[in-house]
Structure 1
Amino acid sequence: MAKVLFVCLGNICRSPMAEAVFRHKVAEAGLAGRIEIDSAGTGDWHTGEPPHEGTRTILRQNQIDYSGMRARQVRQSDFHEHRYIITMDASNTKNVMKWAPGSHDAEVRQLLDFIPERRGEDVPDPYYTGNFQEVYEMVDEACGLLLAYIRTKEDM
């Protein structure tokens, strides 16, 4: 089973959006039993909260389920439990690596690195910008390419 963890700052906007979008794409591909998806934040401010209303709205508009999702913080054990840890920006990557144990097999990458022309770019935080549509479009495109990457790498 390939396990994917999406990470942003508070786990209420970008990473739950990516989790829901990726779940949707995985289900459409008939791979729900082969890929497990979760999300977390580098901060603990929103632990236990559902996704931000802006995230819920854009997901509903695109008929993507987000039921049962609650914010949590990244744990050191995530590096042993997940094969892919996908961050939303460079700051998230830096903070995630603070939790990394001395040895782990998790592949840590930024989400937009899966879009060749956006490699190295950050997914802007709609908590501050309010632009949930722009973020959704980035996440949707990158998640499709991430799924293709995982399917190839995992021979699915």
Structure 2
Amino acid sequence: MIRVLFVCLGNICRSPMAEAMFRDLVLREKLDDVIEVDSAGTSHWHIGESPHEGTLAILKKYKVSSEGLKARQLQVEDSDHFHYIVAMDSENVKNIYRKIASKRKGPVIQLPDLVKEVKMKDVPDPYFTGNFEEVYELIEKGNLALLQLIKQEQHL
């Protein structure tokens, strides 16, 4: 099983959106028997909470299931469990390495880095900007590129 973990700060906006969208993409590509998807936050602020209402609304708009999404905090064990750890922004890349640096063997991917035509380095946090549509579009492009990378690296 190939395991992918999306990470943002609170795990209520960007990373659960990316998780739900990637899970949907994996299901459509009929790879759900080989790819497992999860998300986490680097902070403890929202543990156990459902995604932000803006995230739920945009997922509903695009008919992407939000079933089972609950905020959790990144754990040291995640380093060994997940093959791909995908951060939403540079600050969370730093936070991830601070939390699991001694255990992480592979790189942490910053999602926008996978999309050549995107000039942004960070997925903006819609908790502050309110722009869930922009975030959805950026994550969609990043997820497509991520799946291509996984298919290439894992020979799927």
TM-score, with length taken from structure 2: 0.96
Secondary structure of the 2:45 match is coil
CA distance in 1, matches of 2:97, 2:119: 19
CA distance in 2, matches of 1:90, 1:3: 21
Matched-pair contact (CA < 8 Å) for 1:50–1:70: yes
Matched-pair contact (CA < 8 Å) for 1:16–1:39: yes
- Quote the residue 2:82 is aligned against: 82
Identity of aligned residues (%): 47
Equivalent residue runs for 1:7-86 within 5 Å: 7-86=7-86
Matched-pair contact (CA < 8 Å) for 1:80–1:106: no
Q: Deviations over 1:9-55 (max 9, x none)?
A: 00000000000000000000000010000000010110000110000
Matched-pair contact (CA < 8 Å) for 2:80–2:103: no
1:105 shift after superposition? 3.0
- 2:93 is the counterpart of 1:93: yes
CA distance in 1, matches of 2:129, 2:155: 38
Unaligned runs of 5+ in 2: none
- Quote the residue 1:143 is aligned against: 143
- Quote the residue 2:153 is aligned against: 153
Letter in 2 for 1:66: S
CA distance in 2, matches of 1:137, 1:120: 12
Matched-pair contact (CA < 8 Å) for 1:82–1:106: no
